[in-house]
Amino acid sequence: MSHDFEDIRESVRRLCADFPGSYWQAKDRDRAYPGEFVAALTEAGFLSVLIPEEYGGSGLGLRAATAILEEVHRSGCNGGACHAQMYVMGTLLKHGSAAQKAMYLPKVATGELRLQAFGVTEPTSGTDTTRIRTFARRDGDDYVVSGQKIWISRAEHSDLMVLLVRTTAREDAARPADGMSVLLVDMREAIGNGLTIRPIRTMLNHATTELFFDDLRVPAANLIGEEGKGFRYILDGMNAERILIASECIGDGRFFIDRASAYASERSVFGRAIGENQGVQFPIARAHVQLSAASLMVDKAAAMFDVGEPCGTEANMAKMLASEASWYAADMCVQTHGGFGFAEEYDIERKFRETRLYRVAPISTNLILSHVATHALKLPKSF
């Protein structure tokens, strides 16, 4: 609920006040990474909120993390530059060895290491993860990785990457989800030694890239968990990602509603505030209703995740409802502002572009509907 974790929310709001719209406008204009903002979040301990205290984190649950990201986005900032640091490490935390966790998690908590890259999607597989082709062949004490990934955000700004590969060909595995493994890749050593990063310019400043692996050697000691069981390991990370991004959408939606309400109250046309017109105020009210309902679904999914209950369906529903509510709110906000909604200085157009992403990523609406149909409603699979 929005009133929960109020101390954390207030701290986030104070931090975000140091990064006003002009800061984000400049970063957006130059397609630059908001390093100062990420450093401030790291120093404040917000990015290590899910890391246990024994490794230098706060040891809080996903609901606390959703509160942080919601407030970041409601303040007009963008957590997309670093939100993966919250959920990517979950694969290491839950399935890594004691030595791996001791080696990496404390440094991730302090910001000495950035673990923000999550290498799953490929050009030929999309959301059909079982059809990835990037292959890791065992050669002595190393895995030799060859293949390609796409839409990998923050690869240029991350020291480590959780990488999903095949170690057994799909046709040789007992089940399509078998034969995949997770490697922890040290990007600092990999770049130029078998890993090439190619930035992809998009409609928003999201630092997304395409990765090419050409016989990249990764120490076998960097295998997370058991070989061949990697698909199961990343599922929790995917659920956390969807819930956290849903919370960002809630924050975006509140940003748009806040801005639209203020503008509609202040803007005078034909001698009165435009907010007096039901044609203006009703869409704002509808956005609030839709967002309030979506927020409850996000909170439910996060609460289930925190107590270890299966929450794949709830995570998907939360992401879908929140992304659709924020997109409605974004469109409403532009409409309320009229021409000013397209002006850079108002920040509406930037946030409009940013929130549109989440109807597609990290999973599209159609795939969510397919999941709900087959898993919750037990309808026959269409593929």
Length, in residues, of the chain: 383
Report the candidate in 112, 134, 124, 117 with the shortest Cα–Cα distance to residue 207: 117
Amino acid at 233: Y
* Cα 29 from chain centroid (whole Å): 22
330/77 Cα distance (integer angstroms): 15
Report the candidate in 102, 98, 126, 118 with the shortest Cα–Cα distance to residue 182: 118
34/88 Cα distance (integer angstroms): 19
Active site residue 6: no
Of the residues 241, 314, 324, 349, only one is catalytic, namely 241
In sequence order, which residues have a C-beta less than 8 Å from that of residue 16 and are 6 or more positions away?
A: 71, 72, 75, 76, 77
Report the candidate in 81, 165, 157 with the shortest Cα–Cα distance to residue 120: 165
In sequence order, which residues have a C-beta less than 8 Å from that of residue 250 and are 6 or more positions away?
A: 66, 70, 73, 291, 294, 295, 298, 322, 325, 326
**Contact call for residues 75 and 16 (beta carbons, < 8 A):** yes
3-state secondary structure of 184: strand
User: Which two tokens mark 291?
Assistant: 């967002």
User: Which two tokens mark 69?
Assistant: 């990201």
Q: Contacts for 25-34 with beta carbons within 8 Å, 24 or more apart?
A: 25/344, 25/345, 25/347, 25/350, 27/205, 28/204, 28/205, 28/350, 29/344, 31/201, 31/205, 32/205, 33/81, 33/156, 33/157, 33/207, 34/78, 34/81
Q: Is 91 exposed, middle or buried (0-12, 13-18, 19+ CB in 10 A)?
A: buried
CA distances from 356 to 178, 320, 326, 341, 364 (A): 34, 12, 8, 15, 12
User: Which two tokens mark 200?
Assistant: 């992809």
Q: Which residues are catalytic?
A: 241
